[in-house]
Amino acid sequence: MDKKKLAGEQAATYIEEGMILGLGTGSTVYWTIQKLGELVKQGLKIKGIPTSKATEHLARELGIPILDISEVQEIDLTIDGADEVNPDFALIKGGGGALFREKMVASLSRRLLIVVDDSKVVSTLGKFPLPVEVVPFGWEITSRNIARLGCSPKLRLHTAGPFITDNGNYILDCYFTEIQHPELLNEQLTKIIGVVETGLFVNMAEMIIVGGNDGVSVKSTPMQSEAANE
């Protein structure tokens, strides 16, 4: 069975009546949103906050009620995908270019649940190029300043020129190879003028659902597991 589908559908079991839900972006959480559409048709009452225009479109097609982020103080649960997950649950996200809205939604969420297939689980982040959203004005300068942190940034391209995010910005895919200190790197990057947000999500994910050959495994943050063992 499709590993992404396994993980995505499993995540839907954490959805409860009355929740305000952050709806992630990508081909894994797609399966969660499909399941959610079925649950809504069966009468489940929830409201969704999409993390991209693509997800908003999908949710509307499935009849999932949508709220604007400005209408909520807090989100009960966000389910989203990731491009890489390390043992501390630090993530690289933004392969689909939705990292800014994904981080904004995650930051409002009481719980962030990540769905991935087992190819995304790594010991050290960085093989996947880190997406960084930047303002188009002077992006070449921003790119040079990012490169000083030890990577080679590449402007993400689309068919007819630069890829444009839902916020009207560009994405630089930054080839670091190994990111040993994700929190520090995130701080260094966000200090650079022109950087809107990075695809590094540190200390945000609470649970990871991994689809593999033998089914799904559910991992809770190392911090949570320690607390449970005390």
Ligand X SMILES: O=C(CO)[C@H](O)[C@H](O)COP(=O)(O)O
Residues annotated within a binding site for substrate? 25-28, 80-83, 93-96, 120
**Which of 113, 226, 100, 222 minimizes the C-alpha distance to 165?**
100
Confirm or reject binding of residue 12 to ligand X (CB under 6 A).
no
Count of residues interacting with ligand X (CB under 6 A): 17
- Shortest spacing between CB 197 and ligand X, in angstroms: 11
β-strands 109-117, 170-175: how paired?
A: unpaired
In the residue annotation, 102 being an active-site residue is answered as yes
Which residue ranges make up the annotated binding site? Answer: 25-28, 80-83, 93-96, 120
**Options 11, 40, 82, 90; binder of ligand X; rule CB under 6 A:** 82
Tell me the window of 21-29, 31-39, 159-167, 204-212 that interacts with ligand X (CB under 6 A): 21-29
Secondary structure element (H or E) that encloses residue 37, with its range: helix 29-41
Could you tell me which residues come within 8 angstroms of residue 181 by beta carbon, excluding any fewer than 6 positions away?
none
Q: Are 14 and 77 in contact (CB under 8 A)?
A: yes
Q: Are 123 and 86 in contact (CB under 8 A)?
A: yes
Residue closer to ligand X by CB (options 30, 139) is 30
Point out the residues that are catalytic: 102
Query: Where along the sequence are the contacts to ligand X (CB under 6 A)?
Result: 24-28, 80-83, 93-99, 102
